[in-house]
Amino acid sequence: MSHYVLVHGAWEGSWTWENTSSELERQGHAVTAIDLPGSHGNKQAIPQVTMASYVKTVAEAIERLDHKVVLAGHSLAGAVISRVAELMPEKIERLIYVAAFLLKNGDSVLEAMQRDPGGEFLPELTFSEDQSYAMASERTLRDIAFHDVEDKDIRRSLPLMAEKQATEPFMAKVVVSDGRFGSVPKTYIRTTIDKITSPALQDEMIANWEVESVHVLPSGHFPTLSMPERLAELML
């Protein structure tokens, strides 16, 4: 059996993984779902919410374990798990990207979003005057992020979403190498009706690296909420 370490994306928290975690555990696997700095379960001031703090939080959780892990990231967390794998490839059994940013060396999440003609989320965000954080309206979350999620799950999720998301993790360059990050097996779970990371952008990112397996879900950006059991099956 494997130990799955699950990392959420921007505005979210470990709560988005709850139903997927339950299914993984039902199948006999260990699960650790991490709350990144700035999330509902790990509230931090905006200046403390950085890509470096994200990577440190995940790396420290893995370092406490005496075995390899399957490291999964959703959305923005794709960049996080890539950085972690660069630091400690010997600790990672497999990387799983769930509608996530699988970037080339030197790329950033923001740059990938800016070149995505099918991405509808970025233009709808409201940025602070100093550009240090962004906010997403309830309408944007409902219509673009959660458009295929049941209303009861949306109503539960909205109060748990961070009001402000630091922008530094979006702008931070991913630093990865063929020898370290490139050596770790990778799986990509592609979401076909995604309005945040469009299918076209996902295809571009899948082509960036050798990806051993690609699975497809007829889901929007949050299969963790819209079809968590099916997501768990593919992760297994």
Percent of the chain whose predicted confidence (pLDDT) is above 90? 99
- Residue range 88-107: average pLDDT? 98
pLDDT score for 124? 97
Output the furthest CA–CA distance in the chain (Å, rounded).
Answer: 48
pLDDT score for 199? 98
pLDDT band with cut points at 50, 70 and 90 for residue 97:
very high
pLDDT score for 4? 98
Catalytic-role residue among 14, 75, 82, 157:
75
pLDDT score for 17? 98
When the pLDDT of each residue in the chain is averaged and rounded to a whole number, the result is: 97
- Residue range 86-110: average pLDDT? 98
pLDDT digits (tens, 9 = 90+) for 140-198: 999 999 999 999 999 999 999 999 999 999 999 999 999 999 999 999 999 999 999 99
pLDDT score for 101? 98
pLDDT score for 197? 98
pLDDT score for 66? 94
CA atoms within 13 A on the CB side of 130: 5
pLDDT band with cut points at 50, 70 and 90 for residue 221:
very high
To the query of whether residue 82 is one of the catalytic residues in this protein, the response is no
Enter the pTM of the model.
0.97
pLDDT score for 223? 98
Nearest CA among 231, 130, 152 for reference residue 188: 231
Residue partners of 42: CB distance under 8 A and separation at least 6: 13, 35, 36, 57
- Residue range 46-53: average pLDDT? 97
The Cα–Cα gap between 129 and 123 comes to 16
| Domains of the chain as residue ranges with CATH | 3-235 (3.40.50.1820)
pLDDT score for 198? 98
**DSSP string over 115-164:** T-TT--SGGG-EE-TTSSEEE--HHHIIIIISTTS-HHHHHHHGGGS-S-
